[in-house]
Amino acid sequence: LEEFLLARQLAGGSILAACKAFATEHRPEVKRVKLAAGIDAFIATKQRAGKKGERTYRAKLKPLLTVEDPLDKRPIIGDVFADTVTTKQLSAYLETFGNGVTRNDHRKRAYSLFSWLKRQGYLRHGEELAIAGTERTKEKPTDIGILTPEVFAKLLEWIRKEHPEYLAAVVLAGFCGVRSDEIHGKKSDGGVARNTMVRQKWSDIHLDERQVMRVTIAKENTPANRNVPLAGEGMDAALAWLQLIPEGDRVGYVCTAGAMENVRWLAIEEGFDLPENCFRHSYITYAIAVTENKAKIANRAGNSVQEIDRRYRVPMLESTGVEWFAIRPKPKPPA
């Protein structure tokens, strides 16, 4: 009714004539597509360009079709024609995400979608995108969970004894800062990609005089072909622990798919308190404490210094960093 009254105010007694004029003047510019089909086409285009459209966009765009109004339980937007989606609808949709980081991430993906739809002729040229009228929200500082050297030492010895097949993965995560995704891929990689292509290879880990590892497949949009030292600068722990693994086992991939997910589940069942992303957070925190060089550690971790300070690092004394990288395997008792 509000829309009708405003239309009547603007067009006087000629609402139908105004609608016909609008249709004649504007609609021929627009190819109509339903939002679900537009999302599928957008993702398919990204996939063909080798940009992992399914993994990057699907989960963040599907809610445009499904998120419901808290009161009437109907989709706020739904599978409507893309050119009918309004700023008011998009704002209401974004307000359903309480976390600022999540909200801004969904807004970013929606912006990419609607920009692409406009380039394809599904939205009118010369008009501002409806999503552009929505607001980014302020992101609250994220909790950065780390492990103490004492807890990590106990965890490593427990993994060594009870689940040695996961030892290399835990060492790379805690002493080299390698992402779980880079160690064994994401769940969303699926099928062949998850089982073979996206995993760290032993052939890229050099325990000889080079004492360095190359990240086999770096996370998308991060520095590729990055190297991480396994020793030096007082950080020799990774080398010491990886040398425990029999040479005959250092072939193929360092772990099975989903190794760090299994480690987390098993360790929590055992009573270990493992905050989200704690191995990588801990590595970055303690490595910066030891080296006092954020830029160097950011490069090894495949992040910017700004992201390191915002999401990954807890200020720590150098002595505690030294303690972290001084963790060594306990000698096995004689048989």
pLDDT per residue over 180-229, tens digit each?
Answer: 888 887 654 443 334 455 788 999 999 988 899 888 876 655 555 688 88
Stretch among 35-39, 76-80, 123-127, 287-291 having the lowest mean pLDDT: 123-127
Res 147: pLDDT? 92
90 is written with which tokens? 């998009």
Q: What is the pLDDT of residue 222?
A: 53
d(CA 222, CA 170): 21
Single out the residue of 63, 56, 276, 313 nearest to residue 186, CA to CA.
56
280-317: b (≥16 Cβ within 10 Å) or e: bbbbbbbbbbbbeebeebbbbbbbeeeebeebbbeebe
**CA–CA distance, 109 with 47 (Å, rounded to integer):** 15
Report the run of H or E that residue 88 belongs to, with start and end.
helix 87-94
**142 or 328: which leads in pLDDT:** 328
Q: Is-contact 266 169, C-beta < 8 A?
A: no
Residue 227 CB-density burial (10 A; 0-12 exposed, 13-18 middle, 19+ buried): middle
The 10s digit of each residue's pLDDT in 273-312 is 998 889 999 999 999 999 999 999 988 888 888 888 877 8
**What average pLDDT score do residues 98-103 get?**
85
> What does the pLDDT average to over 84-112?
92
Full-model pTM: 0.63
Q: Across residues 15-27, what is the average pLDDT? A: 71
State whether residue 34 is helix, strand or coil: strand
